[in-house]
């Protein structure tokens, strides 16, 4: 734009717009007729204190739809789950595939943040916060449950997004950010993953958000320009 470079704004265009349109110029033209998440890469952000059962349920559900999940933590190697009356030696562990610096959000199609006490660690990690903002700025699907909701709302501070209350079992999708307060781990672990808009099934709604590939409405409504990443 002329104003952005300090130039005079023309009174009229150099030539009139021809008024023609072309469907293939729209990103939505290339959306598959049947929603799919096959081979989509989903990053799962965790730190010590994450909800182990929830993470495993999400990974298994996405794997059944032939998507690929990657554990991203503050460091590579073992990340310990929440205490849940277990001693440190008894806490379940997951090995991180990559760390925040080694595999940035730009290398994934979507992002998931599970519930658990690890959110206090992520909230103090600037790179983790930037990781989520970068994914949001690139219009990628984001899923979150439980304590991850106030993390997105307050710490990451995503603009213009509506979030489900962290105590509610209901599902809310807003600009491709899918949240639920209480994640049904048992259902996600055993049921067939559907890919459709369903306000009662978190995994179905999140899978649908991933299948959209990008949520360009964020750009159209000026949300991405409000996030530094």
How do the domains of the chain map onto residue ranges? 38-226
- Integer CA distances (angstroms), 41 to 38, 77, 137, 176, 222, in order: 9, 20, 17, 16, 26
Our CA angle for 103, 104, 105, nearest 5°, is 125
Exposure string for 139-155, b = 16+ CB within 10 A, e = fewer: bbbbbbbbbbbbbbbeb
Radius of gyration of the chain measured on its C-alpha atoms: 20
CA 169 to chain centre: 19
Please give the average per-residue pLDDT across 161-170, as a whole number. 94
Residue 223, pLDDT score = 97
- Integer CA distances (angstroms), 174 to 143, 144, 164, in order: 10, 12, 10
* pLDDT digit string, tens, across residues 176-227: 999 999 998 888 887 889 999 887 899 999 999 999 999 999 999 999 999 9
> How far apart are the C-alpha atoms of 207 and 8, rounded to whole Å?
47
Where residue 171 falls (left for φ over 0; alpha for ψ -120 to 50; beta otherwise) is beta
Give 78's contacts (C-beta < 8 A, 6+ positions apart). Answer: 93, 94, 95, 96
Model-level pTM?
A: 0.88
* pLDDT digit string, tens, across residues 80-135: 998 764 556 677 999 999 999 999 999 999 999 999 999 999 999 999 999 999 99
Please give the average per-residue pLDDT across 157-182, as a whole number. 95
> How far apart are the C-alpha atoms of 30 and 27, rounded to whole Å?
6
User: Could you give the 3-state DSSP secondary structure of residue 110?
Assistant: strand
Closest CA to 57 of 87, 11, 6, 94: 94
Query: Topology of 38-226 in CATH?
Result: Rossmann fold (3.40.50)
DSSP 8-state symbol, 193: P
> How far apart are the C-alpha atoms of 187 and 171, rounded to whole Å?
14
> How far apart are the C-alpha atoms of 50 and 120, rounded to whole Å?
10
Confidence of residue 15 (pLDDT cuts 50, 70, 90): confident
Centre a 10 Å sphere on the Cβ of residue 215 and count the other Cβ atoms it contains: 22
Confidence of residue 13 (pLDDT cuts 50, 70, 90): confident
Higher pLDDT, 84 or 162: 162
């Amino acid at each position: 734009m002329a104003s952005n470079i300090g130039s005079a704004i023309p009174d009229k265009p150099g030539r009139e717009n021809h008024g023609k349109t072309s469907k293939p110029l729209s990103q939505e033209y290339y959306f598959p007729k049947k929603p799919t998440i096959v081979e989509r890469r989903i990053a799962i952000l965790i730190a010590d204190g994450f909800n182990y059962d929830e993470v495993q349920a999400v990974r298994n559900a996405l794997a059944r739809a032939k998507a690929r999940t990657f554990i991203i933590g503050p460091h590579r190697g073992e990340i310990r789950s929440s205490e849940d009356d277990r001693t440190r030696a008894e806490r379940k562990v997951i090995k991180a595939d990559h760390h925040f610096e080694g595999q940035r959000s730009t290398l994934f199609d979507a992002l998931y943040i599970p519930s658990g006490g690890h959110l206090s660690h992520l909230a103090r990690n600037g790179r983790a916060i930037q990781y989520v903002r970068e994914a949001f700025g690139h219009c990628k699907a984001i899923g979150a449950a439980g304590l991850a909701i106030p993390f997105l709302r307050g710490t990451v501070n995503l603009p213009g997004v509506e979030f489900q209350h962290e105590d509610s079992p209901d599902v809310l999708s807003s600009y491709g950010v899918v949240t639920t307060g209480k994640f049904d781990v048992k259902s996600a672990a055993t049921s067939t993953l559907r890919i459709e808009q369903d306000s009662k099934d978190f995994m179905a709604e999140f899978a649908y958000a991933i299948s959209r590939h990008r949520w360009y409405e964020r750009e159209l409504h000026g949300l991405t320009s409000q996030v530094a990443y």
